[in-house]
Structure 1
Amino acid sequence: MADKVFDALADVHRRRLLVALLDHNPQDISDLSGVPWNIEETEVEMAQKYHVHLPKLADYGFIDWHPDDEVAVKGPQFDEIKPVLELLDEHRDELPDGWL
């Protein structure tokens, strides 16, 4: 499971979504509670969101993704990644820019 956790956290977009799910479940995947998925999302980034990032998190069970509603909710394996997300969130101010 550790490999899946670290792979899921390897991309800032996935980290942002997963950390946002700590406090707000479900999440509008286009907004992330006021934090844009990406400030200036290109077509490539939008395609990656729908064809790479969200499916990967869903495959790992960290989210359940409802593409028709553009909503992601905590998945059945979310508790496996939750301690790492809480650690990142608690130390947000100490992390380099762009980590969250």
Structure 2
Amino acid sequence: MLSHNPEDESKLYTDDIETTETEEARLLTEMKHTHLPLLEDYGFIDWDRDTHEVTKGPEFDEIRPLLEMMINNKDELPDDWL
């Protein structure tokens, strides 16, 4: 996400996350109804609901350092943080 723009919703999940179909459906629902709208409200992303495309918003650079720190230190963070 940090280096790619735009991203399609189909790329929201990676193959290395083990989930059941029920968990995946719940996560997708949370993403569409809670997380993406909130990130859009703060200006961190722009989300086109018609094309299912997510792009960096005007305030994305405000959270870039946090995201970079999390990615650079992912081995030291709890598994459910990333």
Which interval holds the TM-score relative to the shorter structure?
A: 0.7 to 0.9
- The corresponding residue for 2:41 is 59
Q: 1:5-31 deviations in whole A, cap 9, x for unaligned?
A: xxxxxxxxxxxxxxxx20211111222
Residue 3 of structure 1 is matched in structure 2 by none
Q: Please tell me the root mean square deviation across aligned C-alpha atoms, in Å.
A: 1.9
**Paired residue type of 1:22:** L
Q: Percent identity?
A: 49
Match of 1:70 among 29, 52, 62: 52
Q: Please give the TM-score of this superposition, normalised by the length of structure 2.
A: 0.79
Q: Does 1:35 align with 2:14?
A: yes
Gaps of 5+ in 2: none
Q: Give the paired residue count.
A: 77
The alignment's TM-score, normalised by the length of structure 1, stands at: 0.67
Can you give the 5+ residue segments of structure 1 that lack an aligned partner in the other structure? 1-20
Task: Work out which of the residue numbers 60, 79, 82 in structure 2 matches 1:97.
Answer: 79
- Structure 1 segments of 4+ aligned residues over 4 angstroms from their partners: none
Pair 1:47 & 2:29 matched:
yes
For the residues of structure 2 that align with 1:57 and 1:83, how far apart are their CA atoms? 16
